Amino acid sequence: MINKDFFEALRDLEAEKGIKQDVFISALEQALTAAYKKNSGVARNAQVKLIPEKNTIKIYSYRTVVDNVEDEEKEISLEDAHQIKHSYKIGDLVMQEESTKEFNRIAVQTAKQVITQKIKEIEKQSVYKDIAEKEGKLIVANVKRMDGDNVYLEIGGTTLEGLLTKHDMLPTDHFKLGDKVKVYVRHIRDDFRGTVVQVTRTHTNFVKLLLEMEVPELTNGEVDIVGIVREAGLRTKIAVSTSVPNLDPVGACIGNRGSRINSVINELNGEKIDIINYSDNPADYIVSALSPAEVSEITVDTVAGVANVIVPENKLSLAIGKGGHNVRLAAKLTGYKIDVKPAISESNVHNKSNDVVSTNSANIILDDDFFDDIDE
């Protein structure tokens, strides 16, 4: 049953699937031991040993040496033990080799089933360990299939699929079979369907890692990302800083003629990205966070966490952004509630007195029909 070809197959298995032969032999010994005990019809303790260097298998049964035998399958008298070897004493284990012929067809089949299961478990652990190292990282995967709004991605080097739901896609994403897609591995979990690799293109870290791919100053620590906020498909704001003299952190992220930031924007299908300098001065930080809008005047209450901002009347829509996303993101980035008002002429004060935008992180308070004239 067990011969040289069998052990050669074990060595091939290690080479092809990366399963260590020692691990597999250990699992196989357990499986064959269980099969032997189940099918031999005896209750004695037994152990199966595989000896790959000799391409053979050994089966041993063992009984404990006792004064009075109560279970002949598990115990042996001292007198009988001495007939095997005179040095045995009470409490010793008497090992006896059994014939492999006791492995009938049922035993072999049982062993194969257990072995197959062990292989699957080892492969699953190996694959899970490999993919778990990708959690929180950026990967490139191929579109394998589509099911409704869900896109399933082939993750290179594994047998697993990445699940990209509609919620995790950009509004401008359109894929077809075979496309290469950059995604962020958000979460890996096991459920009744197996290992599920949830990937996304809407997570804030997706933009962060895309930028790190383009900006070596970020990966080597010369430039730091202090804060990043995003409304996927619309706009991302990133605050950067550096402790390196004469290094412009914003310029490093943008690149020569925008080469670096444009690579990221292209991957995001045109999503706007504002790179600003971080400042310990709240007023300066808030003014930068409202970019690309111009700020005429600002007063900051650091205790209340509120900033009152005046912008040119013709720049109000730019400060607010479509649907309020620009001022909302500025509030999230800085941690301040930002009230934006236009610098209006005295003749228009009665018509525009209610045009005020107030943000508190994700919230915006507006007068009715305010956004009718807001541009992108």
Model pLDDT, residue 359: 54
pLDDT tens figures, 347-376: 455 554 444 455 543 333 333 343 344 444
Q: In sequence order, what are the residues at sequence separation of 6 or more whose Cβ sits closer than 8 angstroms to the Cβ of residue 248?
A: none
At 87 the pLDDT is 93
Angle of the 105-132 helix axis to the 21-40 helix axis, nearest 10: 150
pLDDT score recorded for residue 101: 72
The mean of the pLDDT values for the chain is 85
Helices (DSSP H) in the chain: which residue ranges? 4-17, 21-40, 78-84, 105-132, 204-214, 216-219, 249-254, 259-267, 282-289, 316-320, 325-334, 349-352
Which pLDDT value is given to residue 77? 94
Query: CA–CA separation, 208 vs 55, rounded Å?
Result: 55
Domain 284-376 has CATH 3.30.450.90: no
Average pLDDT over residues 225-232: 97
- Tell which wins on pLDDT, 333 or 156: 333
CATH architecture of structural domain 203-278 = 2-Layer Sandwich (3.30)
Q: What is the mean pLDDT of residues 250-268?
A: 96
The confidence score (pLDDT) of residue 193 equals 67
pLDDT at 126: 73
Has domain 134-201 been given CATH number 2.40.50.140? yes
Q: What is the pLDDT of residues 92-146, one digit of tens each?
A: 999 888 877 766 666 667 667 777 887 788 777 777 777 788 899 999 999 999 9
pLDDT band at 195 (very low <50, low <70, confident <90, very high): confident
**What's the whole-number mean pLDDT along residues 222-245?**
97
What is the residue type of 49?
A: K
Confidence of residue 32 (pLDDT cuts 50, 70, 90): confident
> What percentage of residues in the chain have a pLDDT greater than 70?
86
Query: Strand 45-51 relative to strand 56-66: parallel, antiparallel, unpaired?
Result: antiparallel
CA distance 207 to 266: 11
Counting Cβ atoms within 10 Å, is residue 5 exposed (0-12), middle (13-18) or buried (19+)?
Answer: exposed
CATH 3.30.1480.10 fits 4-131, yes or no: yes
What is the domain partition of the chain in residue ranges? Answer: 4-131, 134-201, 203-278, 284-376
Residue 186 has a pLDDT of: 93
pLDDT in tens, 132-189: 888 999 999 999 999 999 999 998 877 788 999 999 999 999 999 999 999 999 998 8
pLDDT recorded at residue 8: 82
